[in-house]
Structure 1
Amino acid sequence: INQKNFQEMMSVFPEILPDPCGGLGILPQVLVAQEAKKHHYDFAFTGEGGDEIFLGYNWNTVMLTLAEAAKNLLRDRYMVRYEPMVEKTLNDGFPSLAGGLLSRGRDTSYATRRILEFWDHNENVENNVLNINLRVGLPAILTVDEYVGKYTGVTPVNPIMDHHIVEYVCSVDPRNRAPIPKFMMREALKGILPEKVRMRYDKMGFPVPYQKWDWKLIRPMISSLANRKIIDIDISKHVTMNRETWALYSIETWYQYHYEKLQNQE
């Protein structure tokens, strides 16, 4: 995967997903699947679901660590009288914290409202985090897998999503899940995987070296979107690729592919 084939793939992004809602990580995923297809593979194992059911995301760790710290306050004899405040923080403050951690921009209100749709105030923080992973993050990731499979002809197989595994993990006491990322999976694989692999914490998905690449293709696309007068855009801020720029770029790519293509056909 390099700058050339990655940026070439960006132009066909609308052919992969029906909506401009996927992250840049989908493109390396497609390139890997295409390479597998060249070698006549029709199926590919994926690790989708591991972060979701085993609480492997960074925001999961932040939530669970802070929740544990809040509970520990109650063990301090000087904090006993503040138990209602601590409980209120756990029940009402943590949904807002989750919204702030998950939001892509400075406006956290939308993400917080979405979190509150799934947050059960009668459940502990650990179970709520797991529930959000399963009901918000996981369906989106599996949907991307499905579309990548359709586009490349390589069917994804998710062994971690076996219902026996998912049901078991969901039945485990929250105290045995947290706060170490993927604690249960790491414990289960003790003696099976080399320790260097089992206890590795620097794993990433498909990190893209944004800052190292030349992005001459950004300005014309962002300028085109700005000229539509639909979104207020400061073009000078978009000279390299990042989450915000990618969001605007994918919207314009999707618009050109679906609307201008139809207009030309007419």
Structure 2
Amino acid sequence: MTSAGTPRFAGKVAVVTGGSRGIGAAVAARLAGEGAAVAIGYRSGREAADELVAELKTQGAEVIAMRADVADPDETEALIEYAVAEFGQLDILASCAGIEHFDALENVTPADFDRVYTVNTRGQFFAAQHAAARLRAGGRIVLTSSVSASRAIFAHTLYASSKAAVESMVLNLAPELGARGITINAIAPGGTATDMAAEHAASYQHPKLAGKIPMTEWLTTHGALGRLADPAEIAAGYAFLASGDASYMTGRTLQLDGGHF
């Protein structure tokens, strides 16, 4: 809410890619809950997207969903155009779609490389491009990196480098977009309680420890808060960067990692 009690994103329109589950769903819910009209993009989670739309509509939100695989820039453009056609404008892009990858250097194939970079890097670049074409002065672009981009983890080079490229992307696009009054930043989440984390969390441990220390215990010795983040806690970071409170922040990556050490 603003000081006058008006929802912070009232009158704003947001597109959220990867918005059917995990962090993306939490971001869509947060923005809609604060008054934004939200267009949710998803690749395969149609049922989850429809359920989220229905839930948010019961709360009075304006929400739509559309299948849009960020691996295909044309589908991302179509999602953005759909949002503009339905709601009349675009003010915020929250680019949350991404895929995980763990494997040793000798096992990574060109197909692996292309798949990870196509979604995590290329997909976000063209999402920013298509959003920028529609954003007005005061627009906000929030991409998704990872704390892995600045942390050494066994067998994680492909994923981590795809996210490091995103941080360079926002740094270098900032002056270009800033000339138009648009900010671009990224969120670098740490461990978050999503289905992706449930599938891959153990891989973040050193190979000599994997399977020997329960994840709950490992978290207490590697993070100041000693737990995974709730997706809603990460979504709060996206909401901050999408808001007027972050009007003087651009080209930066905000780490939300629970005080990893």
TM tier, shorter chain? under 0.3
Greater gyration radius: 1
Provide the TM-score with structure 1 as the length reference: 0.26
Name the one with the larger strand percent.
2
Q: Which has the higher contact order (CA 8 A, sep 6+)?
A: 1
Q: Whose helix proportion is higher, 1 or 2?
A: 1
